[in-house]
Structure 1
Amino acid sequence: MSQVLTNAAEFTVSEIAQAVKRTVEDEFGHVRVRGEISGFRGQHSSGHAYFTLKDDSASIDAVVWKGSYARLAFKPEEGLEVIATGRLTTFPRSSKYQIVIENIEPAGAGALMALLEERRKKLLAEGLFARERKRALPYLPRVIGVVTSPTGAVIRDILHRLEDRFPSHVLVWPVRVQGETCAPEVVNAIDGFNALLPGGAIPRPDLIIVARGGGSIEDLWGFNEESVVRAVAGSAIPVISAVGHETDTTLVDYASDMRAPTPTAAAEAAVPVRAELIAYVEDQGMRQRQAARRTLASLRDRLRAAAAGLPRPADLAATQRQTLDMTASRLTGALRHFVQGRRLGYSGLEAKLQPRLVRQRHAELRERLANLDRHAIAGLNKTVDRSRLKFDPILRQLPLAATTSMERKQTILARLSPRLSAQPLRAELRHAGGLLVPLAARLAASARHAMSQRRGQIEQLGKLIETLGYRNVLARGYAIVQDERGEVVTDASRLMPGDSLQITFAQGEVTANVAGAPPRRKPPKSPSGGGTQESLF
C-alpha cells in the first residue's frame, strides 16, 4: 500500500482549540447579545452563574464570573429577555463557545414567560387554582399511582423513599416528561388512573404523584400545558405535584392538591413513617393500658371504702325478719276480727232482706210508677186542652171566613161581569184597539189562582187541627181520665178510694173505681232531677 506524502503542518488538538479561541476573542472582543435567559438556577457554589441565552432559532451558553456578578445592577432571572454585554470565547475542553457577560440590561419578559403568565391568569380566573378546591390527602394510602418516566432517577428516589418510610403498593404509569408528547401522555395517565374501578383487577390508586426532575423552562413546558392543568384539577383522586426542583414552578403546582419541592419530598408527604407510626400506636396502647389499670385501681379502692361503711347483711335482714315475725303473729287475730266484723254487718242486713220488706218495696215502686203514669196523662191532657183552646176558635171561624171570602169574590165578579160583557164595553174595546181583552183574561185567571190558594190554606189548617187533636195523641197509647163530674183528672191526690172514673181510649171507653189508700202527695222535683213531662209537643 502506497503512503501519501504531504508537507502540511501537523497541529495538536490543544493548538487548534487555542487558535480558535484566539480567533473568536479577537473577532468578537466586545458584543451585545439580546436573548431570553433560560436554565438559570442562581449562583453556583463557587459564586459564578451559568445559564443560556436563546431566541427562536438558536442558543448560546453564558457565564457571569463571581466578581462581575456582584457588580451587576440587574440580576438575571429565569425567562427574562435581556441585553447582555460581554465578550465571546470558547471552552476548549468541550469545544463550545460561550459569552462571558460583564453587564446585563433588561429587555422585557421572554415569549415563553409571557405566554405562561397569560395562561396562568386565564386558569386562575376560572377558579382552577382556588384553595377551596384542594382536597386533603389520605393519611395512609394503600395504593399510590406515580406518573413519571420509568427510566429516570425520579422513580428510583420515590420508591426508595417509600420503602424507607412505609412500604406501599405503587403503580407506575410511564410517560415522557418532556417533548411534544409529554402533555397528552400525562393527561392519559391521570385519566387512566381515575378510570380504574375500586376492587378491580388493577387496584385504583388512593393518591397520584406527578413527578419529574429539574430542567429549564423549555424542558418543563409540558407541565404548563392547559390540558395537563385541567386534568390535574379535574382528577377525582388527590394529586401531589413534584415537577422540577425547589426553585422550579409550573402551572400544575397551582392546580394540584399539594406541591412538593422535589419528588423525594412528594414521597415523604404521601405516607407517614411506619416506624414512627408503630411507635405512636404502641405508646398510645401503653398509655391506654396504664390508664385502664389506674382506673381499675381507683374503682377498687372506692369499692373497698364503700364496702367498709356498709352494715353486715345479717344485720340488715335481722330487723326485717323480726318485723315479719311480729306481723305474722298478729295476722291470725286480725283475720278473725275481720271475719267477725263482716258477720255482724251481714246479720244487720239480714232483717232488711225479708220477703215482706221486699214485697213492700216492690209495692212502693209500683205505686210510684202509677203516679208517674198519671202525671204523664195529666200533662198530655193539659197540652191537648191548650191546643183545643187555641185552635177551636180558629176552626170555627175558618168555614165562615172561607164562605165570606168566597161570597165577596163572587160579588165582585158578579158586579164586574155585566160591565165586561156589555155592548158599550165591546165598543170601547174595539175603539181602544182591543187592549182591555187581555186584561180581563188576566183578571179572571188571577181570581181563580187566589181561590185556589185560599182553598189550599184551608185544607192545610184542617190537617193541622187534625194532627194536633187529642185523638191522635190517644192513638199513641195515651188515655183521658175524667171524674164523675166529667172533669179531666190531672192530680192523683184529688182522688179518694171508691171514686168512679171514666177512662177514654183511642177506641172506646171504660169505667173504673179507685182502690186502696189515697196516694201521698210528693214534693215536686227540681228541674235538674228530671221532673215529669209537661208537654208532648
Structure 2
Amino acid sequence: MADPFDDIDTPRLVAEGREGDNDAPLSVGELSLKLKRMVEGEFGHVRLRGEISGYKRAASGHVYLALKDADAVIDGVMWRGAADRLPFRPQDGVEVVATGKLTTYPGRSKYQIVIDRMELAGEGALMALFEKLKAQLAGEGLFDVARKKPLPFAPKVIGVVTSPTGAVIRDILHRLEDRFPTHVVVWPVKVQGAGAAEEVAAAVRGFDAMPAHGPVPRPDLVIVARGGGSIEDLWAFNEEVAVRAVAACSIPIISAVGHETDTSLCDFAADMRAPTPTAAAEIAVPVRAELANGIASMGLRAERCARRYHERAGERLQALVRVLPRRDALLGPQRQKADDLGARLDRGLELRVTLARGVLDRAGGALRPAVLERKLDALRHRLDGAGKLLDAVNPDNLLQRGYVRVGAKASGKVIASAADARAAGALTLHFRDGSVDARVERGGAKPYAGDTPEQPDLF
C-alpha cells in the first residue's frame, strides 16, 4: 500500500485538495479580516508613549502622524472629532502619550493606532513644546520691544478677557473701584481646556474690531487675565492662535496670566505683563485720590507762586517809587512853560485884534456917503458918455435921415460895395420902418419877389 504522505511536498500545477486537509484555502481579504479582528480584540485599548513624527492635518480635519522611539515606528490616525478636542497643537519632535486602539489597514497590510486622546508625556515635554513655539514666534518678531504700544494714562473703557465666574474678574473690578472707577466691558471666555485658546483669540479680535462709536464702547485698554495654576492649566495662553491674536491687536493689552512666577507666551506678545490680575488693574489706572491730591498740591504751589510774584512785584514798584522824582518836580517846568505860552498867546491875540481893527477903520472910511456919491457920479458920467458914443455909431440911427442899409439876403452880411451886391444876387434893404427884398440886375437893383416871374408892364 502506498504512503499517502509521500507526495505532500511535491509541487503541482493545479491546486487540489489533499487527503487529510481540513481547511480550505483563505482569501487575502479573509485573512486581513481575521488579522483585524485579532488585533482589535487583543489591543482594543492601548497607551503608547512616543515622539511625534510626520504630523499632518488633512483638509477633512483628520490628523495623520507616526509615533516613534529608538526601536520602532507605528502609524497613527486621529479622527476630526478627537483632533478638535486636543488641548494643544501637536508638533514634530514632541513626546506624547497616545490612548486608543490598534487596528489594521488591509489596503496596505499595515497596522496603526486610532488615537482617541493624546497628551504630552509629562511637564518636560510640555516645556519643550513651549520653548519650541516661543523660539518660532520670537523669530517672526512677535515679541519685539519695538512693537509694544504705550498704555493710556487713564483709560475711559477697559475690556477684560477672562472667565465671568472666577475670582479674577471680581478682583479686577474691586481694584479698579478702589483706585479709579472705570467702565469695564467683560468678554466671557473659557480659560482652560479644549477650545479655550480659540475663545481667547476670538475675544481679543472682537474687542479690536469694535467701532469707535458703536452701541458697546470700544475699549482703550484690554486685560487678558487668568488665575494661577499649573503649566497645563495655563496652556491655552501658550497656544499659537491666542498668542498671535494678542500680538496683532491694535488696542494696548496687559497680560495677567497666573501668578508672579508663571509665564505664558501671551505675556511676551502683550504690550505689558502683570504678575497677577490684581496687579493688572493697578497698572491699568492711576489712583484717583493721589491724582486729586497732586492737583490740589499743584494748585497750592501755583497760588503761592502767584502770591510771591505779586509781592515781589509790589516790592520792586515801591523801590522804583522811592527813586522817582516828586510829581511837582516833574510837572513844575511844564506848568511854567504852559503859563508862558498862555501869556504869549494873549499878547498875540491882542495885537492881532488891533491890526484887524485898523484895517476895518480904513475900509470904513472909504465907505463914507460923500466919497461913495463921488464915485457913483463919476461912474454915471462914464456911462452917459458910452451911451452917447453908442448912439453916434449905431448905423440904424442913420435910417431916420433917409439912409438905407443893404445886406445879403442869404447871410445877412452888410453889403458895402456894388461888387459885393452883384456877388450876393439877392439882397435885403433895411429902411427905418421895415425891410424890402431886392434882386441885382445888370442895370441895377429891382424889387425882389421870391421866385415869382416879373409881371410885364400893361401900359
If the length of structure 1 is used for normalisation, what is the TM-score?
Answer: 0.41
Would you tell me which structure has more strand in proportion to its own residues? 2
Q: More helix by proportion, 1 or 2? A: 1
